[in-house]
Structure 1
């Protein structure tokens, strides 16, 4: 066997195995969601007799997933907008402006990437409780912003650092202020990175369970992922209903990645290849 063919097979076989390991749980969940409770009890691994959305409809109507989905959408949208605003401003400052302590502040921001959420979980809970933000959408938005802002700043700084400083200097010569340079030049040029980091942060916030479970304590304020987790305990014997809830929660994520996978890849790599 030629060396090139051997190398190709050595890469293809593990990748195929990884693809199967990734796709199989999704297909299994879809198959279970199509079954009735009786059908699942009699044959857990077999294919469903027919395609039906009964479990998805029941999960949506009987367990309040609609309200949970609205909570997730509101919190995710607010968090992403705040992250993009603060992250792009910080990235512009760290990459294009000169001020005292810039490098130290950037290294401090990078160091925050290494701190797991479990370390700051108790202090965060106490701060939100003392400020009256516990069990509220603004409280969870601020928690998400604090957790994912270092990643956003890192990506935006890496991208903006590839933009020639001559562009900023030319804008200053034309009389633009710092905020005008940011709004008229840096934001339009940063659209690929903004789209990428916005989608990634949206996925992070939508899929989060631990932080939402800590902040949102009342049932009416639960996010969708926490609501699906509670569905497992509330209807522990009805696995097809639980699978339907899981499918509802995962469907927006799959659609976002399906339609924006090229933008995600282009945005992540743009900061490393620009210029």
Structure 2
């Protein structure tokens, strides 16, 4: 009886492992194919599209970085991402601390009102949003796009940080107030050091969202481009040069993949933080 049960468990484990292996291969192969294509010349790709490059070359990477102005697009993405992440971390940490640790009227109403931003798709508010952008002079402004990222990604950040701050005993804040500390001192000297793990996670997730965004960037930067918009526009102008497009995709995806590989444990930890009840 036990042998049969162990055998069935072993078979089930093998089936699950085989399925996960197939799933991993289906995920890794497109990455391998893109990198392989980017290392080929156009002629070699036409002749041997699906083979490993026989004479790897970085010619397409150099062309992408210089001729297509990918360096300028990269800098635009870096600037708006830094602005957006900074605003999200600042707003989310302040609001999360206030909503979780302080007691005031309409606290829960304000909390649910802020979280309602998570339920509104950006496509629904694009027309009024565009009018606001024009009236505020934020059109074709990298700073304006960074501020827009801060506004759109803050609701999730507030949810994440308030859940984390709610897990910290309020007795810690009360003891600091008894010792004469102000709310700002408690936030800066006690809460921020304790919230470092969740803030790192929030910064990583926000970086990925800002870096990969296309829709909001198209809405604000109409005379310029961020990296992902620039790569998306290659389909029409350079669509025939597949290795060049692949090189651009590798350059655009490299920072995201590197961030995920380095901080994947913190990303998973941040997702678990969100399950803590406030």
Q: Under TM normalisation by the shorter chain, which class is it?
A: over 0.9
- Once superposed, which parts of structure 1, at least 4 consecutive aligned residues long, lie more than 3 Å away? 270-274
User: Given the alignment, which residue of 142, 159, 164 partners 1:159?
Assistant: 164
Query: Match of 2:199, SS?
Result: helix
Matching residue of 1:97: 102
Q: In structure 2, what is the equivalent of residue 223 of structure 1? A: 226
Report the CA distance between 1:5 and its aligned residue: 1.8
Counterpart for residue 73 of structure 2: 68
Q: Which runs of 5+ in 2 are unaligned?
A: none
SS at match of 1:113: helix
Contact 1:193 1:271 in 2 (8 A): no
Distance 2:228 2:251 in 1: 10
More displaced 10-residue stretch of structure 1: 118-127 or 3-12: 3-12
For residues 41 and 251 of structure 1, what CA distance do their matches in structure 2 show? 25
1:94 and 1:273 mapped to 2: Cα distance? 15
Q: CA deviation at 1:266?
A: 2.7
- Residue 132 of structure 1 corresponds to 137
Q: 1:16 to 1:114 in 2, by over 3 A?
A: farther
Deviation at residue 34 of structure 1 after TM alignment: 1.0
Query: Which residue of structure 2 aligns with residue 269 of structure 1?
Result: 272
Change (3 A) 1:6 1:273: farther
Please give the per-residue CA displacement for 1:7-52, whole angstroms capped at 9, x wherever unaligned. 4234323322221222111111101101111111122222211222
**Would you say 1:78 and 2:110 are equivalent positions?**
no
1:175-198 Cα shifts (integer Å, max 9, x gaps): 111111111111000000000000
Q: Which residue of 1 aligns with 2:253?
A: 250
SS of 2:233's equivalent in the other structure is: helix
1:5 match: 10
Structure 1 residue ranges without an equivalent (≥5):
none
Give the Å deviation of 1:110.
2.2
Distance in 1 separating the partners of 2:104 and 2:74: 43
CA contact (8 A) 2:163 2:273 kept: no
Could you tell me how far 1:252 is from its partner in structure 2?
A: 0.7
Aligned to 2:186: 181
Mean alpha-carbon deviation: is it higher for 186-195 or for 235-244?
Answer: 235-244
Q: Is the 8 A contact 2:76 2:227 kept in 1?
A: yes
Question: Does 2:41 correspond to 1:58?
Answer: no
1:141 aligned onto 2:113:
no
TM-score (norm 1): 0.94
Deviation, structure 1 residue 271: 5.4
1:168-207 alignment runs, 5 A limit: 168-207=173-212
Question: Contact between 2:83 and 2:147, CA under 8 Å: does it hold in 1?
Answer: no
